[in-house]
């Protein structure tokens, strides 16, 4: 069993963990397979945030085992389902985040093990982070993980455990290690990055420290908790523009104060709007994106209209939209779920509104010049590159520019929701 493949579902934190797991296995002499079917061992790094993602991963695990692969089931579903995954034939080994260091040993011995305890060390607290080999010009760096908020719909506090922050020195050391390999953009990751506290520095201080002690072209950070956006943090971002990005991902979830209370989000509709006003005052060019959920159990039609109202008032540049999905162990799962037709009708209306506003905002980009970083071939026409503005908005360029290069573009038109840019330098 020498060849492995890591498949990742879910958020960027899982992507980061998968990189570290890959490094751990390469260090032990394992070989990365080109595809799952070419591998002896498949590590499935899974997401439990909605039921759909979870079911997909479990089904896939069964398929792989049927094909004779040794399946190591890790991530949030591993933590949630634990031993059951072994019993029902979905996995050969089941490990949650704090047991990832054991993966090489388990593969070596083909062990059938379950370890989902919260007692071990997270990989980002081990030396593997300083040996990691870059996978591109843009890399993730986890700064904190876990969550203490217990929003009533969310499984994450149960899967990832309590908040822990990495020492600021280690974060900068990891960024230096990536810089030396030519990485030009880093994204600081955490479930609530602005809850960061390593015993000395809070998130604003960490941002200042990272920006002052690294030379990467761009520093991003996600996800922010709207409740904890401080003026101090916004001022730090303003003082380090453009290296620190003024792209803020601020998950609204709902625009109704009543639903927000039932979700235990810790802010009202008015407080969210006021927070955004502060952002725009201190960072006038800020790009603001969000996550919104429809169909929370106590959401009425009127509450949903409040959500649309906030969408109009805030003018999000982009929103990820979701249908509420009841999750095990969460408080909201005890309330009756709304009919699917109600939820999906609201989702359609929400997407229409979000897109209408995003299109209006994109139109305002026409004629303006942006500095962009070329990310990858565009989906629609791979002969043209897709690049990102400082605010993380995608732009399709009019001619090929190598990946990882920085150019200036003038926006000529908006196609669908995507700005097209003419390269001017
Ligand atoms: N159902 C639907 N969406 C959810 N999210 C979190 N929990 C649930 C759930 N139970 C969404 C939130 C969060 C994003 C990562 O996933 O909008 O911000
Ligand atoms: Fe999914 Fe949340 Fe776990 Fe990320 S932390 S993998 S989004 S459940």
Q: Which atom belonging to ligand 1 lies closest to the Cα atom of 292? A: 17
Atom of ligand 1 nearest to the CA of 153: 10
Which bound ligand lies closest to the C-alpha atom of 10? Answer: 2
Residues 377 and 400 in one domain: yes
**Which ligand 1 atom lies nearest to the CA of residue 253?**
17
**1, pLDDT greater than 80:** no
Contacts of 250 (CB under 8 A, 6+ apart): 224, 226, 229, 272, 275, 276, 279, 288, 289, 290
Residue 62 shares a structural domain with residue 176 = no
Ligand 1 atom nearest the C-alpha of 326 is 10
Mutation test residue for ligand 1: of 259, 293, 318, the one with most atoms within 8 Å of CB: 293
Closest ligand 1 atom to 320 CA: 17
Question: Considering 115, 142, 162, which residue would you say is the last residue of a domain?
Answer: 115
Residue 225 has pLDDT above 90, yes or no: yes
Say how many domains are in the chain. 3
Regarding whether 334 and 392 lie in a shared domain, the answer is: no
Q: Does residue 108 sit in the same domain as residue 136?
A: no
Closest-CA residue to 4 (of 23, 210, 14): 23
Q: Are residues 146 and 244 located together in one domain of the fold?
A: yes
Ligand 1 binding pocket mutation candidate from 322, 323, 327 (most atoms within 8 A of CB) = 322
Mean pLDDT, residues 27-48 taken together: 97
80 & 162 share domain: no
Q: Name the residue of 17, 159, 191, 330 whose CB sits within 8 Å of the most ligand 2 atoms, as the mutation to test its pocket.
A: 159
The CATH number for 403's domain is 2.40.50.140
Atom of ligand 2 nearest to the CA of 53: 1
**Index of the ligand 2 atom closest to the CA of residue 12:** 4
Span from the CA of 424 to the centroid of ligand 2 (angstroms): 40
Query: Which of 343, 363, 383 is at the close of a domain?
Result: 363
Instruction: Give residue 259's pLDDT.
Output: 98
**From ligand 1's centre to the CA of 293, what distance in Å?**
7
Q: Both 258 and 287 in a single domain?
A: yes
**With pLDDT > 70 as the criterion, what percentage of the chain qualifies?**
100
Same domain, 180 and 86: no
Contact 395, 409 (CB under 8 A): yes
Taking the centre of ligand 1 as the mean of its atom positions, its distance from the CA of residue 104, in whole angstroms, is 32
Looking at the domain assignment, is residue 121 inside a domain?
no
Ligand 1 atom with the shortest distance to the CA of 325: 1
The answer on pLDDT for 425 being more than 80 is no
Domain end marker among 333, 363, 393: 363
CA 229 from centre of chain: 18
Q: How many angstroms does the Cα of residue 136 sit away from the middle of ligand 1?
A: 28
Question: What confidence category does residue 254 fall into, taking pLDDT thresholds of 50, 70 and 90?
Answer: very high
pLDDT (average), residues 172-195: 97
How far does residue 398's CA lie from ligand 1's centre (Å)?
A: 36
- Among all bound ligands, the one having the nearest atom to the CA of 250 is 1
Supply the CATH number for residue 293's domain.
3.80.30.20
Distance from residue 143's CA to the centre of ligand 1 (Å): 21
Q: Do both 226 and 349 map to the same domain?
A: yes
Q: Does any domain span residue 120?
A: no
Protein residues with CB under 6 Å of any ligand 2 atom:
10-11, 13-14, 47-49, 75-76, 155-156, 159-160
Tell me what the mean pLDDT of segment 69-96 comes to: 97
Cα–Cα separations (whole angstroms), residue 196 to 53, 141, 314, 323, 326: 28, 13, 26, 29, 28
**CATH assignment of the domain containing 111:** 3.40.50.12160
Residues 242 and 240: their CA atoms lie apart, in Å, by 6
Residue 204 and residue 344 in one domain = yes
pLDDT band at 334 (very low <50, low <70, confident <90, very high): very high
- Report pLDDT for 2: 87
Alpha helices in 198-317 (DSSP H): 203-212, 231-239, 257-263, 269-282, 301-314
Q: With contact defined as beta carbons under 8 Å apart, do 57 and 46 qualify?
A: yes
In a domain, 37, yes or no: yes
Segment 281-296 mean pLDDT: 98
Mean pLDDT of 176-203: 97
Q: Flag whether 353 is in a domain.
A: yes
Protein residues with CB under 6 Å of any ligand 1 atom: 49-50, 153-154, 251, 253, 291, 293, 322, 324-325, 327
3-state secondary structure of 109: coil
Is it the case that residue 411 has pLDDT exceeding 90?
yes
Whether residues 352 and 256 share a domain: the answer is: yes
Rounded CA-CA distance 6/26 in Å is 12
CA 10 – ligand 2 centroid, Å: 6
Report angle CA 224, 228, 233 to the nearest 5 degrees: 75
Q: Which ligand is nearest to the CA of 158?
A: 2
The predicted pLDDT at position 98 comes to 97
Span 69-94, average pLDDT? 97
Output the CA–CA distances (angstroms, integers) from residue 215 to 130, 141, 234, in the order listed.
17, 15, 21
Taking residues 88-116, what's their average pLDDT?
A: 96
- Domain holding 264, by residue range, is 126-363
CA 250 to ligand 1 center in whole angstroms: 13
> What is the Å distance from ligand 2's center to 9 Cα?
9
Q: How far is the CA of 413 from the centre of ligand 2 (A)?
A: 36
Picking from 83, 109, 110, the residue whose alpha carbon sits closest to that of residue 96 is 83
Inside any domain, residue 290: yes
Domain presence at residue 220: yes
Same domain, 227 and 269: yes
State in Å: Cα 43 to ligand 2 middle. Answer: 16
| H runs (alpha helix) in 134-268 | 156-160, 168-180, 203-212, 231-239, 257-263
């Amino acid at each position: 069993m020498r060849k492995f493949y890591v498949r990742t579902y879910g958020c960027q934190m899982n992507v980061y963990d998968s990189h570290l797991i890959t490094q751990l296995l390469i260090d032990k002499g394992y070989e990365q397979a080109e595809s799952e079917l070419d591998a002896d061992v498949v590590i499935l790094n899974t997401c439990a945030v909605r039921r759909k993602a979870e079911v997909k991963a479990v089904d896939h695990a069964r398929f792989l085992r049927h094909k004779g692969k040794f399946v190591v089931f890790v991530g949030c579903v591993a933590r949630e389902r634990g031993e059951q995954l072994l019993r029902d034939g979905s996995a050969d080994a089941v490990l949650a985040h704090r047991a990832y260091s054991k993966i090489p040993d388990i593969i070596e011995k083909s062990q059938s093990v379950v370890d989902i305890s919260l007692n071990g060390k997270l990989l980002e607290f081990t030396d593997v982070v300083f040996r990691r080999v870059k996978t591109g010009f843009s890399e993730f760096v986890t700064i904190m993980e876990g969550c203490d908020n217990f929003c009533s719909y969310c499984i994450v506090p149960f899967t990832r455990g309590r908040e822990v922050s990495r020492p600021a020195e280690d974060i900068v050391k990891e960024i230096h290690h990536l810089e030396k390999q030519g990485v030009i953009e880093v994204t600081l990751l955490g479930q609530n990055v602005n809850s960061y506290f390593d015993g000395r520095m809070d998130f604003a201080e960490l941002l200042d420290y990272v920006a002052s002690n690294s030379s990467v072209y761009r520093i991003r950070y996600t996800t922010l908790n709207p409740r904890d956006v401080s003026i101090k943090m916004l001022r730090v971002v303003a003082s380090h523009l453009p290296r620190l990005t003024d792209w803020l991902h601020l998950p609204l979830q709902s625009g109704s104060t009543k639903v927000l209370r039932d979700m235990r989000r810790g802010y009202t509709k008015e407080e969210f709007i006021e927070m955004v006003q502060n952002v725009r005052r201190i960072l006038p060019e800020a790009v603001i994106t969000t996550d919104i959920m429809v169909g929370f159990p106590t959401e009425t039609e009127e509450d949903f209209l409040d959500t649309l109202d906030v969408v109009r008032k805030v003018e999000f540049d982009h929103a990820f939209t979701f249908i509420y999905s009841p999750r095990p162990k969460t408080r909201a799962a005890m309330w009756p779920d709304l009919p699917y037709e109600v939820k999906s009708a609201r989702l359609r209306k929400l997407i229409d509104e979000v897109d209408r506003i995003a299109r209006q905002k994109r139109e305002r980009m026409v004629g303006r010049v942006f500095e962009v970083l070329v990310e990858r071939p565009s989906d629609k026409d791979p002969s043209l590159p897709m690049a990102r503005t400082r605010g993380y908005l995608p732009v399709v360029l009019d001619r090929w520019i190598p990946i990882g290069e920085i150019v200036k573009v003038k926006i000529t038109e908006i196609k669908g929701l995507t700005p097209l840019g003419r390269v001017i330098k």
